[in-house]
Structure 1
Amino acid sequence: MPFDLKTYIAKASSTSGPDAPHDKGGAITPQQWHVYDGAAWVPAPPSPAAAAAPEQLTLVTWNIDGFGAQAEARAACLLARVAELPTAPDVILFQEVNAAGAATILANPFVRAGYVSSEAPGGSGAHWDWEGVPQPFVTLTLVSRALRVGDVFRTSLPSRYARDLLTADVLLPTGTLRIVNVHLDSLAHDPSFRPPQVALATASIKAAGAGVIAGDWNPVLPLDDSLCADNGITDEWVALKGADDGFTWNWDGRSKEPFPPNRLDKVATFGVRATEIEIIEPGTLAEGIDWSDHCGLRFVLAPVSASKL
């Protein structure tokens, strides 16, 4: 059946919350890295061992608006912006990637030449479908071919929206850096599933010894303000920018949705720290459609050789 936004929201709103019996999450579904071989995206062979730890790692996270019109044009413009950054990101984390956006991303020459992908064209399994209702979008992670990748897998979450954690391990000479791409539950459902979702993500990066949780956290309730502190992880925007607003949603007051400006997109770390973090504002298409209803975040991790890895 075709995707219908009203059906999707209604189903989520009727799903039992944390105050009722629910799926506790934690089930792991392994995935396969894919690489473009010049003709098609194919399963990637094991990565060669890295000779030395990189001095730093640059990452970008961006919710690219899977509900919006002109998905292909939006994704193409956004990728052009990422490709023009002074330093090509080592890792790119996308959220709200719909089928058309995924096809555009995986057809992009910059992506094909430089990255391995957590997804193959057409999606990679059941996370595109939710009890017979097509998922409107998924998360997608790209890692530079210059890095050595380990496991990539999804972890189920307690969720009203069938959200999951997309986890990628980057294998460095000094240890494993675990990168968790998140799109936490949307809207102000109370009670909220976001606390157990962050707890599961935190347990994962702590088990690896060091890691990053980045993406769209959807923090719209007061309890969201303390989730990083409650879990012993560092909110890098607060650590580096203090009280600066850091709005990544409706930053210019033009959002199509009736919500106030907010810092919906976050980066949290454990065992490694960021030295830089900045907002990347989207532009508009010729017809005035924004590339995304979120800003992106670019952040640089501290010299990895000097971290706890």
Structure 2
Amino acid sequence: MDELVKRSIREVDAKKKATVPWKLDEPWKQSYHVFSVDRNNWVAIDPTTQSTTHTSPDASITRLALYSWNIDFMLPFPNSRMRTAIRHLEEAHVAMLDAQTASVIYLQECVASDLQLLASDPWVRSTFALTDLDITNWQSGHYGTVTLVDRRLAIADCFRVHYSQSAMERDAFFVDIRLGKNQDIVRLCNSHLESLALEPAYRPPQMQLIAKYMRDTSVHGALAAGDFNAIQDFDRHLHSDNGLKDAYLELGGREEDAEAGHTWGQQAATVLRERFGTTRMDKVYFCGGVRCLGFERFGAGEEIPDESERRQIVELGFDRPWVTDHLGVKAVFEVAPRANL
């Protein structure tokens, strides 16, 4: 396992981008993509150009089911693991939603082959707008985030803010959607906060920047989720420090309840679980005119099917050939008048 980590670090370093067109800590606008059956390819859409929007507003959609999952980029067999993860999301979760609930999926630690697999998947093509087809908009040349937005949702904006305070090339990825009978703007943020317990600590300024955009007066409400790498004491109050609410805690979850709340460690390499235990790394924060209706974890026990690949992952030091070391988190929201919150 140690050699796998070292190899991954070398790969990230080798793929560092020499130059990037954006300025750190400032919004970098990007297109999103919808699949055209007529053209048999993905079509880029600029969400700020109303004439090119991919769908008409649908006021019948009143709720949003948000799924966030970190798919470990260091493990081998990324295609098998991502394919298994997507089938789990499709069959065990999104397919169970009612017609009034739209779905959005945040993925972290994606690599280029993950984007290619997502873009080729029939379910993804027919169900979602896909924000990224390649690594162009990532600070890192190796791994990053991608968001899948229900095709029935109108997208009003799409931009990344690449952190200046990051040693790991992380960013905050925002997508503005319209939701509810009044088609209010709800801002979505997908982020993979800085890893490890390093000095200086970068997660606090990263969350402060996220909160700044979440509380923008132009949006009705906002949701942020992802692998927040919450492993230190200050991580427990990053939400309240920034005027945000934690979905798990708001619905009665307890910080010290490892059995009900922790999302990392259960499926980590055995030596890492024995060394670090488990923790609630993955979270959902929200603010403004949205109400949280439900929260749960998902993805526990999902394994890749191929026998040879299963054996090789177990040989790396895992109890089972899991698709990733994280559990996912799901939260369901509805638009609410600010005065009622």
TM over 0.5: yes
After superposition, residues 189-208 of structure 1 pair within 5 angstroms as: 189-207=198-216, 208=219
Give the Cα–Cα distance (whole angstroms) in 2 for the partners of residues 308 and 232 of structure 1.
15
Please show how residues 111-190 of structure 1 align to structure 2 within 5 Å: 111-120=124-133, 122-125=134-137, 127=138, 129=140, 134-135=141-142, 137-157=143-163, 158-172=165-179, 173-190=182-199
Give yes or no for the alignment of 1:27 onto 2:26. yes
* C-alpha distance in 2 between matches for 1:253 and 1:30: 35
The offset of 1:182, in angstroms, is 0.7
Contact 2:57 2:183 in 1 (8 A): no
Q: How many angstroms does 1:159 deviate by?
A: 0.6
Shift of 1:177: 0.3
Query: 2:338 is aligned with what amino acid?
Result: K
Paired amino acid for 1:193: Y
User: Which of 119, 128, 136 is matched with 1:106 structurally?
Assistant: 119
Flag the structure with more relative contact order, 1 or 2, with Cα contacts below 8 A and sequence separation at least 6: 1
1:220 is aligned, of 231, 235, 259, to 231
How far off its partner does 1:255 sit?
A: 4.7
- Determine if contact 1:255/1:293 at 8 Å carries over to the other structure: no
Q: Which residue of 1 aligns with 2:20?
A: none
CA distance in 2, matches of 1:115, 1:176: 19
Give 1:290's aligned amino acid.
Answer: W
Do the aligned residues in 2 keep the contact of 1:251 with 1:262 (CA within 8 Å)? no
More divergent stretch after superposition (146-155 vs 276-285): 276-285
Cα distance in 2 between the residues matched to 1:144 and 1:51: 12
Q: 1:273: which partner in 2?
A: 291
1:308 aligns with 2:338: yes
Identify the residue that residue 277 of structure 2 maps to in structure 1. 260
Distance 2:271 2:34 in 1: 36
Structure 2 length normalisation: TM-score?
0.78
Whether the 8 Å contact between 1:28 and 1:153 is mirrored in structure 2 is yes
Match of 2:248 in 1: 237
The reply on whether 1:43 has 2:24 as its aligned counterpart is no
% same residue:
28
CA RMSD, aligned part only? 2.3
Distance across 2 between alignment mates of 1:107 and 1:240: 37
For the residue of structure 2 that corresponds to 1:90, the secondary structure is: strand
**Which amino acid in 2 is paired with 1:34?**
H
Specify the SS of the correspondent of 1:298.
strand
**Change in 2 beyond 3 A, CA 1:70/1:10:** closer
The answer to whether the 8 A contact 2:139-2:169 is kept is no
Report the Cα offset of residue 49 of structure 1: 3.7
User: Are 2:127 and 2:151, in contact at CA under 8 Å, matched by a contact in 1?
Assistant: yes
Q: Which deviates further from its counterpart, 178-187 or 88-97? A: 88-97
Cα gap change, 1:294/1:25 in structure 2, threshold over 3 Å: closer, same or farther?
A: same
SS of equivalent residue, structure 1 residue 273: strand
Aligned residue among 267, 291, 295 for 2:323: 291
Query: What one-letter code is carried by the residue in structure 2 that aligns with 1:266?
Result: K
Q: Which residue of 2 aligns with 1:87?
A: 97
Q: Structure 2: which 5+ residue stretches go unaligned?
A: 1-5, 15-22, 46-51, 311-319
Aligned-residue offset at 1:224: 1.0
- What displacement does 1:274 show? 1.2
Q: How many residues align?
A: 286
